[in-house]
Structure 1
């Protein structure tokens, strides 16, 4: 009954989906103007004359590209309680995410407006999209298991906190929705992931769970603990009405086979979302298509920089109505939390422009280009998927980095891979992966030609739990923390190898 009521209440929302597809430029120009109007009296808005801006073209002329380093001082003032700096009023919540070159962590402001118009709207649309795709679903008639991180006081400012985005969302979730989720808020916000994992499993064990939500790696850890406690072989034996996993945060491809083993029900569904600390950007609207729909009416204005121009002095910056399919773009956003023309660091590629659908292909700082090979995460994921398919292996976690020159004067890529199910022949896996990467990436193929620049890649098998131990050593176990997939230097891989 609850599912039917929700479908009825939000039926008009699907009309907005049609408008996103049919009038994307109008929707985005409206979103930008609303942001400018709301922020015109802030310090940033005054300095950049927001009250005079009436078009996207004027916005570009008056507002520079930014990143965290540029906005950091203003954000720190906001964290100390100053108001009307980047966004109107006083912002009390800050999502803590991976650091920059100069800082261990970034603190992304999350305003009340962004909670309402972006993050929660995205969560609601995710469920509505699923119910539209599966009209017989009863997902809202039962409980949802939602994983979250933790938060801590922000300086000494009363009522202000920093923490994982998931913790910010759980802390502020409306009471009526809180009644439909497990675990308890007290358990969900625990700081110690190992303790939290056990408590979540025990609290959820005897609930009638129909949906699970979270980062695939951490959700898998919780589900394995549920199986340990219950003594069951598969999760659907514990929760027979489980029907959907809403996932995001990392690419799902490396985990897909593991989830098929954990959840044997052939009718289990998987829906990807793109929900970052900076905003909620995309939903997998069609279960037969891995690409996500770019959500253009969430109080976020999008721009895009061609990947090859990232870091140049005067990069080309395009609005949504000027992008092309099958090109890699670095994402630039303006949001209702005061991030103005902010380079988020993610790279996407549009698979369609009617409507605008995309896949995440990597990070602007997560790639290997030590020898001109320009290997991005999307290449790595596709190569691993092929190697696993052909050898029956299952990859749990991995990272890769260049070997600039070994004692024999050879250069190559070195991968550390934790296998849940190792290949019978590791050399065969290496050859398939290396060959796949050459086929997928012409630059990598050119550097591999006759072993002149790069030799065949190397794989170092990781012991069980290695990557979790590395995350724990960094204080990043649980929550939304992720293992860096590709690095252009050896700092991270050497730390991981030292623990192997």
Structure 2
């Protein structure tokens, strides 16, 4: 019997459990909330917010405020220094480093042992379970999985405590048995130098029977292009004849799909989207014919949703299809009524299925860099200070990867006072963005994938002309500062000619 056949037997019980998602969403979520409150009632946060006295959702909402990272930053820093029973029982040793907020270069999201097992790893297992359910002819476990990960470092020099990319934390704590069916080696997977890592991954994986890929589309493409360079082959299936699926998440796949389909021409290739973040694992594309994802309801995460443009917050059983909601989570990692910053739109409520619709704030996250407006404002202010320039209007958007897996950010800037040297201004801006945003800094490392930013100088009144042409001149209308797609910037470039 093959390993894939054994895996199918292992997942049969989970397939039956997942059937509850079809009609019992509210019951599942009420069970999760009850479990979380009971588990955390004796923590400092639980005592302060009366978790032990809560009889249900209404009590929880009455006693617990909405939080952003700024509200819990002090508590998380105490946990990083080794304090126990603060936001979640016991000591938390692992912290996922994520892009920063208005006030900080980085966020440090706690990853408790419970969260690791019942939120992150459970999501990964369900991805495989659902894929095998949908693909009875799969042989994925008869070969290796190529799994990309980041790196980690000691946390405040505390023994056994780590801070780093979530993927690195997952690899560090993974069951040793899994290492028998994955590449690259753990040592290579956790390297911090991506240029060295990419080459080593390619060389280690080339001689293996790789059947499945897992990672962020932009960075996986960079690794695969290195595989093609070394191998000299035309298509990926010439290197790995049994390649059959790419489990992807982190950034939207749409801009990369065409490049992957050119690289992998095998008709048996599948693509499966996941919604996994530093804060938790939330959704899985359970139907290959449906681009929406199934919201995972029996993990250690309780969901609430704020209807965009309003103050209305509802639990899962209060949502409606077609509306944009900001997602609010409470988890076994100690995040309570936490605004994650993502917005989703439900396509179905029986079962609860959704698509990611954006962020609560203007941003660029085409390659995992999570650049927010505050980063942009800091960078521009610094560049202006250093060059004597004055910026009156600007917008920025990604330039998606070319055939060589190169990408960049493109800025259209209207200057009230232009810099003497536009290239110098761009270089200063780029360096400042790396200083204030750790994810942008990581993606810009050695120009391997994310290239230096490009600036197009706008003619006078270009932005006003765009607003007028779109019926938005006057009032509080403005051109979005950052966009994750190119529609607006392309219009501006056309009007600038």
TM norm structure 2: 0.77
State the partner residue of 1:475: 441
Alpha-carbon distance, 1:6 to partner: 1.3
The answer as to whether partners of 1:218 and 1:478 remain within 8 angstroms in 2 is no
The answer as to whether partners of 1:96 and 1:164 remain within 8 angstroms in 2 is: yes
- Deviation by residue 1:177-236 (Cα, 9 ceiling, x = unmatched): 121110000000000111100000000010000000000000000000000111111111
- Answering whether residue 3 of structure 2 is matched by residue 21 of structure 1, we say no
Change in Cα spacing, 1:170 to 1:468, as seen in structure 2 (3 Å) is farther
Measured in 2, the distance between the counterparts of 1:225 and 1:469 equals: 30
Q: 1:491 offset after TM fit, Å?
A: 12
1:345 paired residue number? 341
Give 1:397 deviation, angstroms: 11
Matching residue of 2:472: none
Q: Secondary structure at the match of 2:137?
A: coil
Match of 1:244 in 2: 245
Deviation at 1:410, TM superposition (A): 11
Question: Structure 2: how far apart are the matches of 1:419 and 1:189?
Answer: 25
Give the whole-Å Cα distance in 2 for the aligned partners of 1:251 and 1:158: 37
Question: How many angstroms does 1:16 deviate by?
Answer: 1.8
Q: Which residue of 1 aligns with 2:322?
A: 326
Deviation at 1:366, TM superposition (A): 2.7
Are the structure 2 counterparts of residues 172 and 128 from structure 1 closer, same or farther at C-alpha, using a change threshold of 3 Å?
A: same
Alpha carbons of structure 1 residues 482 and 82: separation in structure 2 relative to 1, 3 Å:
farther
Partner of 1:417: 399
User: Alpha-carbon deviations, 1:392-415, whole Å to 9, x = none?
Assistant: xxx999999999xxxxx9978554
**2:163 matched to 1:162?**
yes
Query: In 2 relative to 1, CA 32–419 (structure 1 residues): closer, same or farther, beyond 3 Å?
Result: closer
Q: Which structure 1 residue ranges, 5 or more long, are not aligned?
A: 310-314, 369-376, 382-394, 404-408, 423-466, 494-500
Q: Within 5 A, what are the aligned runs for 1:203-218? A: 203-218=204-219
Pairwise mapping of residues 21-100 of structure 1 onto structure 2 (< 5 A)?
A: 21-100=22-101
With over 3 angstroms needed to count, the CA separation of the structure-2 counterparts of 1:40 and 1:490, relative to structure 1, is: closer
1:21 CA drift (Å): 1.7
Change (3 A) 1:13 1:245: same
Distance in 1 of aligned mates of 2:247 and 2:402: 22
Partner of 1:202: 203
Distance 2:121 2:482 in 1: 39
Residues 410 and 150 (structure 1), Cα distance of their counterparts in 2 relative to 1, 3 Å cut: closer
Compared with structure 1, are the counterparts of its residues 473 and 172 closer, same or farther at alpha carbon in structure 2 (3 Å cutoff)? closer
Query: Which residue is 2:113 aligned to?
Result: 112
Q: Note closer, same or farther for the CA distance 1:470–1:42 as it changes in structure 2 (3 Å cut).
A: closer
Q: How many residues align?
A: 415
Deviation of 1:156 after TM superposition, in Å, equals 2.0
Show the counterpart of 2:254: 253
> 1:247-283: CA deviations, max 9, x gaps?
0000000000000011111221000000100000000
Deviation at 1:417, TM superposition (A): 2.4
- Residue 350 of structure 2 corresponds to 354
| Alpha-carbon distance in 1 for matches of 2:347, 2:318 | 14
The correspondence of residues 179-328 of structure 1 with structure 2, limited to 5 A, is 179-309=180-310, 315-328=311-324
Once superposed, what is the RMSD of the aligned Cα atoms? 3.4
Q: TM-score normalised to the size of structure 1?
A: 0.77
* Matching residue of 1:389: none
Displacement of 1:489 in angstroms is 3.7
| Structure 1 contact 254–396 (Cα < 8 Å) conserved | no
Structure 2 residue runs of 5 or longer lacking an equivalent are 378-390, 405-429, 454-478, 486-497
Aligned to 1:103: 104
Cα offset, 1:482, TM superposition: 9.3
- Pair 63,470 (structure 1): closer, same or farther in 2 beyond 3 Å: closer
Deviates more, 1:358-367 or 1:101-110: 358-367
Checking the alignment, whether the CA contact within 8 Å between 2:363 and 2:370 is kept in structure 1 is: no
Query: How big is the shift at 1:477?
Result: 2.6
Tell me if structure 1 keeps the 8 A contact 2:40–2:88: yes
Query: Could you tell me how far apart the structure 2 residues matched to 1:270 and 1:35 are?
Result: 33
Question: CA 1:398 to 1:162, structure 2 compared with 1: closer, same or farther past 3 Å?
Answer: closer
